[in-house]
Structure formats: C-alpha cells, structure tokens
Amino acid sequence: MQHQSSSCLSCLTSKGCGSVLTTSGNVEMDAIVMDGKTLASGAVSAVRNIANPVQLARLVMEKTTHTCLTAHGANQFALAMGVPEVPQESLITEYSRMRWEKNLAPDANPVECQMGKMGTVGAVAVDIEGNVACATSTGGILNKMEGRVGDTPCIGCGGFADNQVGAVSTTGHGEAIMKVTLARLILFHMEQGQSPEVASDMGLAYMKSRVQGLAGVVTVDPQGQWAARFTSSQMAWAAAQKDTLHYGLYTGEHFTQSLDEP
C-alpha cells in the first residue's frame, strides 16, 4: 500500500478481531511496526485481550529501549501505558470459530486458510518526503500451539522498512518466512536494482523452491513504486496511490476505482 501522508506511521493500524485461534481456542496476537527513517522498530508477541496490537508495538518502539515484548510482559506494559484490555470473546468472530473447529482435523491446510478470509494484516506506506514504514499483525497459523511466535514480530521476517531501499510486509507460513528472512531478502534484491515487483517475485520464488513455503507480500520503494505479490492461491490486497484505489484477490486480478467516487 502506498499512502501519501505527512506521517507514514499514522496510517498503519490493524485490529485483532477475527484472529486465527490457537489449538485451545484462544486469541494470541503478534505485531511489528518499523520506521524506515531511523530503523526504529517495536514488536509484541503472544499478547492477549488487546484490540490493536500494532498500536501496542508502536508504543514499545516509542516508549521503551526494547524492540520486542512478549506474552505477560507485553500485557503488563500495555496496562502501564493505559491500553485497555478487552474481553477475549470480543475478538473472536463466528467465522474464526468455525474455521478453528474445521481445522482441528488432521488433514486441514492451515496455510491456505490463513491467506484466505483470515490471517495476517500488513501494510507498507511512503509519504511525500520519501519516508517509508511497515506494520504487520497476525493471530498466527491455524492449529498453532499456545505460545507459538511466528515471523510477524521478527525484524526482517514479518516486515522491514529502510528509507534507503523500501518497505515490505509479509504474510504466509511463518516458519518458512523466518528461514529465508523474506522481507529483508526482498529488500536485498531491491538494493541490487530490482523493482519492487521483480524483487518480491524473486524472494517468493526462492522461499517456495528452498523451503516449499507459500507467502504473500506488499512492497513499496521511496519513490512510490509498489507491488502486491503472492504464491498462494489468493491474497486480499489494496493500494491507495494519489486519487486511485487498486485492489485484487486472485492471481492476475488488478481492479481500480477512483477514491473520489461515493
């Protein structure tokens, strides 16, 4: 996503409602936010009862000297910062509960389900001064154990932002993404002169061939070139550039709509 704003970080938010559930039916959220101007980053993992984990990750970045807080410690930090806890049931949708029940079956495919109607929410942005930022949050993959932490809160995996290159946010099978540090790998290809689209395809192809993992990414460079690419069967994506909304779901889809339309 490209967003022309005086503040990249101000437009990067996501909520935990509808998260993928753990094997015991709980909501545990991971999130990361990164500022490409300073390389400052904040992350949280395995947090419960927090409506907006990205905002909590930003507080970690801005209010502490740490990069990542996890589980009980992250929730204690949220309390100290005045972030209200919400009832877990308010974060669980009927659809996520249904998918949780279905995917307790041994032959379920959690990766494809995750990249369908539920899973990771990610965003990248560039402002009018060329500052980039990224944010990613997720409930993880289906059938995950309690306490499992995936790629999302890990710098270079779930996201990375650097004003000198660009910003990437990832979604997909976290264990595979971590093995290839997918976000940073894509930016490496951009450092070598590749466009966001080509670099994204190269990173995704390497991950698929090397560790047989499927993923999707949104990528932007400081000049505003962007890409939404994926190797899964689908990935819901949208990009706002100037007065036009771009969006799609399946491979090859690219629809546009004027943002001035009612």
Q: Beta strands 68-70 and 244-250: pairing type?
A: unpaired
The neighbouring-strand residues paired with 221 are none
Amino acid at 201: D
Report DSSP letters for 4-59, one per residue: --S-SGGG-----TTPPPPTTS---EEEEEEETTTTEEEEEEEE-S-S-HHHHHHH
Task: Note the maximum CA span of the chain.
Answer: 50
d(CA 199, CA 185): 8
Is 120 a residue of the active site? yes
* Catalytic choice (22, 120, 138, 170): 120
Q: How far is CA 133 from CA 11, 12, 24, 75, 244, in A?
A: 10, 8, 34, 24, 20
**Backbone phi, then psi, for 230, in 5-degree steps?**
-160, 155
The neighbouring-strand residues paired with 228 are 218
Active-site amino acid positions:
120
